[in-house]
Chains A and B, each alone.
Chain A
C-alpha cells in the first residue's frame, strides 16, 4: 500500500517537473526569438501623445528611405505618454534614442541631467519640428457664441483644459490664456496689467470643470460630452474633426505659438550604437516629405515651403507670441508654474472663500 502511494507520488513529481520544463521553454522562446543572425537596427522613440498619428505615417517613410540608402532595416519601438511623464521616464532610465516632446522644458530637463549633450537646438533650424496654436473647441453651431478669450470667463461656461502639473499641453494653454490677457487682447483687461491678467486667469480657471492628465484625454472627454468649451491645440481639433467629430474650432485673436522639440538622446544612442540612424531620423523629420505628414495631421509645418503651401488651412493670428514673451521656458516655468508662480498661486486660492 505504501509503496503504491510512493509510486503515484513519484509519477506526480515527474509530471510537475515536465510542466515546469515546458513552462521554462515557453518563457525562453520569447527571448530566443530575438537572436537572429543579421540584426536590423532598433530605434526607440519616446513621444508625447499628440503627434502619434503623424509618426505612424512618417515612420514607414523613413524605414523605406533608410533601407534605400543603406540596405538596413529599422525597427521602431514607440512609446507615447504625456510630455512631462515621458521626459521623466527617460530621465529615470527609459532608454529612448529619440525624444519628441511637447515643450522645450521637457528636453531641457534631459540636458540638465547630462543625457543630451549635443546642441540639439542647432538641428533642423532650432530643434523644433512642428508648430501649433492654442485654440478653443466649441460644440457644433457654437451655441454659446464663444468668440474670444473673454467668453471663457463668463459665468456658467464649462471649460476643459488639462492639468499643467502633468501635461505640457496644459502649460501652453495657461500661457496662451494669461499671455493674451497681459498683452491687452482680452476685453476688459488692460495691457501689461499683471494683476488684472491674473484675475482673468482666476475667472477662467473657476469655470474649469475637469482637469485631465493630458491633452488627448481632455479632448476625448470633451467628445464624450463633458464641458462647453475646450482649450486645446489646433491640431487636436483638426485630428478630432478628421475622426468624424463635429465640434468646431474658434481661433482667438491672440495666442501662443506652440513649438515642439525633437532631440537625439546622446547617452542612450551611444549605449545602443544607434547614433547614425537616430540622427538620420531626426533630420528626416525636417524634410518636406515628413513635414507634409505633420501638416496633414493638424500641425503647422516648420518647413517654409510646406508652410506656404498649407497657409490657407492654418490662418495667421492677429497677435501670435512665443514663449520668449515670458523670457523662455527657463524663466516661464518658475514664474508661472513654480511653487510661488502666478498659476500656482491663483489655482491654490481658487477654493478659498473671499471674506
Chain B
C-alpha cells in the first residue's frame, strides 16, 4: 500500500500529467455527482418543499411507522440468517471440495440475475393458495404469502449472494497456517474459529452485513408481489413510497425516501468510520 502511494506521488509532475490528473478527477466528480449526488439533492429539496412540519406530519402516522418497523424487522432477520448460513456456505466453498460444487457456486449467483418480481411470483407458486405446498400450509394454518414470512423469504432470496461473495475472497486470502498454529498450541476448533479465524474475517462480515441490510431495506418488487402491499400490514417503506407517489402524496413519498436513504447512508458511513478507526 505504502509503496504504491510513493510511486504515484513521486511521478514527475509535468504540465500535461497535472492536467490529465485534474481532468480525471473532474470526470470522476461529475460522474459521482450526476449519478448519486444530484438525485439526493432533488430528494432533499422535494421533501422540504412544504416545510419540515408538513414532513413530520406525513411521516408521523401509525401506518408509516409500521412500514418502517416492518422493513427493519425484515432487514434484521435477513441479516441474522445470512450471517449464519452465508458463513457456512462460504466456508464450504473455500475449505471443502465435493462433486457438484461448481453448480452450487453458480446457483448462488442466481438471485443477481432473476428479476425480483419473478422471485415474488415463484414464492406464490410454492406457498400460494394453489401452490405446491398449499395442502401442508392449509393443514397447519400457516400463512406465508401476503404475510410477513413470505416477505422475509423473498428478501432472503434477493440478498442471498452478498454475504457469500464478500466472505469467499477474504476466507481464501486467510492463511490456514494460523489455524494450524492455534491447533498446535492446543486450541479447540470452536475456540480457533472465534479467536483466530473470525477476527481475520471481521471486515468481511461488516461489509457483508452492510450490503445485505441495505439491499433488504430497499427491496421492492419481490416484497410487493408476495406481500400484496396491504396498508398497515404488509407494507414496507419502498412500497409505501410507491403508493404515496401514486396517491399524489409527494411530501410523504419524498420524506419517507429521505429517511430511508439517510438510514442507509448512516449505515455505510458508520461502517467506513469503524474501518478507519480500526486502521489507525
Chain A residues with CB below 8 A from B130, complex form:
91-93
Given A94-B146, A94-B228, A52 and B247 contact (CB-CB distance below 8 Å): yes
Measured between alpha carbons, how far is A216 from B248 in the docked complex, in Å? 10
| B69 part of interface (Cβ distance < 8 Å) | yes
Q: Is the CB of B195 within 8 A of A79?
A: no
| A95 part of interface (Cβ distance < 8 Å) | yes
Chain A residues with CB below 8 A from B128, complex form:
92-93
Shortest beta-carbon distance, A74 to chain B, in Å? 13
Q: Is the CB of A217 within 8 A of B191?
A: no
Q: Is the CB of B248 within 8 A of A243?
A: yes
Question: Per-residue CB proximity of B148-169 to A under 8 Å, as 1/0?
Answer: 0000000000000000000000
Interface residues of B in 218-275 (CB under 8 A from A): 228-234, 243, 245-248
Q: Is the CB of B195 within 8 A of A77?
A: no
| B145 part of interface (Cβ distance < 8 Å) | yes
Question: Per-residue CB proximity of B128-139 to A under 8 Å, as 1/0?
Answer: 111100000000
Q: Is the CB of B247 within 8 A of A79?
A: no
Q: Is the CB of A27 within 8 A of B146?
A: no
| B73 part of interface (Cβ distance < 8 Å) | yes
Report 26 cross-chain contacts, Cβ distance below 8 Å, ordered by A residue. Answer: A5-B195, A9-B194, A12-B194, A23-B76, A23-B80, A26-B76, A30-B73, A52-B247, A53-B247, A77-B230, A77-B231, A78-B230, A78-B232, A79-B228, A79-B229, A79-B230, A79-B231, A79-B234, A80-B246, A89-B228, A92-B130, A93-B124, A93-B127, A93-B145, A93-B146, A94-B228
Residue of B nearest to A95 (CB): B146
Q: Is the CB of B129 within 8 A of A77?
A: no
Known pairs A9-B191, A92-B124, A94-B228; list 4 more (Cβ under 8 Å).
Answer: A30-B73, A78-B231, A78-B232, A92-B128
Q: Is the CB of A89 within 8 A of B146?
A: yes
Chain A residues with CB below 8 A from B233, complex form:
77
Interface residues on B, range: 20 to 34
Chain B residues with CB below 8 A from A91, complex form:
129-130
Q: Is the CB of B231 within 8 A of A81?
A: no
| A44 part of interface (Cβ distance < 8 Å) | yes
Q: Which of B69, B127, B130, B230 has the most CB of A within 10 A?
A: B230
| A192 part of interface (Cβ distance < 8 Å) | no
Chain A residues with CB below 8 A from B76, complex form:
23, 26-27
Chain A residues with CB below 8 A from B231, complex form:
77-79
Q: Which of A80, A89, A93, A220 has the most CB of B within 10 A?
A: A93
Shortest beta-carbon distance, A73 to chain B, in Å? 15
Interface residues of A in 264-314 (CB under 8 A from B): none
Measured between alpha carbons, how far is A92 from B145 in the docked complex, in Å? 8
Q: Is the CB of A217 within 8 A of B146?
A: no
Interface residues of A in 7-53 (CB under 8 A from B): 9, 12, 23, 26-27, 30, 44, 46, 49, 52-53
Interface residues on A, range: 20 to 34
Binding site secondary structure of chain B? loop
Q: Is the CB of B195 within 8 A of A9?
A: yes
Interface residues of B in 72-117 (CB under 8 A from A): 73, 76-77, 80
Shortest beta-carbon distance, A24 to chain B, in Å? 10
Chain B residues with CB below 8 A from A26, complex form:
76
Q: Is the CB of A81 within 8 A of B129?
A: no
Q: Which of A27, A80, A92 has the most CB of B within 10 A?
A: A92
Shortest beta-carbon distance, A158 to chain B, in Å? 23
Measured between alpha carbons, how far is A65 from B204 in the docked complex, in Å? 58
Chain B residues with CB below 8 A from A46, complex form:
228
Residue of A nearest to B246 (CB): A216
Measured between alpha carbons, how far is A291 from B15 in the docked complex, in Å? 77
Chain A residues with CB below 8 A from B229, complex form:
79-81
Measured between alpha carbons, how far is A46 from B228 in the docked complex, in Å? 9
Chain A residues with CB below 8 A from B243, complex form:
80
Measured between alpha carbons, how far is A217 from B228 in the docked complex, in Å? 17
Measured between alpha carbons, how far is A5 from B191 in the docked complex, in Å? 10
Question: Per-residue CB proximity of A92-116 to B under 8 Å, as 1/0?
Answer: 1111000000000000000000000
Chain B residues with CB below 8 A from A94, complex form:
145-146, 228, 230
Measured between alpha carbons, how far is A216 from B73 in the docked complex, in Å? 31
Measured between alpha carbons, how far is A26 from B124 in the docked complex, in Å? 28
Shortest beta-carbon distance, B133 to chain A, in Å? 11
Given A5-B195, A23-B76, A27-B73, A49 and B146 contact (CB-CB distance below 8 Å): no
Shortest beta-carbon distance, B111 to chain A, in Å? 22
Measured between alpha carbons, how far is A56 from B23 in the docked complex, in Å? 55
Chain A residues with CB below 8 A from B145, complex form:
92-94
The 6 closest A-B pairs by CB, nearest first: A93-B129, A92-B128, A79-B230, A94-B146, A94-B228, A78-B231
Shortest beta-carbon distance, A13 to chain B, in Å? 9
Question: Per-residue CB proximity of B166-209 to A under 8 Å, as 1/0?
Answer: 00000000000000000000000001001100000000000000
Q: Is the CB of A30 within 8 A of B69?
A: yes
Question: Per-residue CB proximity of A207-250 to B under 8 Å, as 1/0?
Answer: 00000000011001000000000000000000000010000000
Measured between alpha carbons, how far is A165 from B230 in the docked complex, in Å? 23
Measured between alpha carbons, how far is A80 from B239 in the docked complex, in Å? 11
Shortest beta-carbon distance, A332 to chain B, in Å? 26
Chain B residues with CB below 8 A from A49, complex form:
246
Measured between alpha carbons, how far is A138 from B195 in the docked complex, in Å? 70
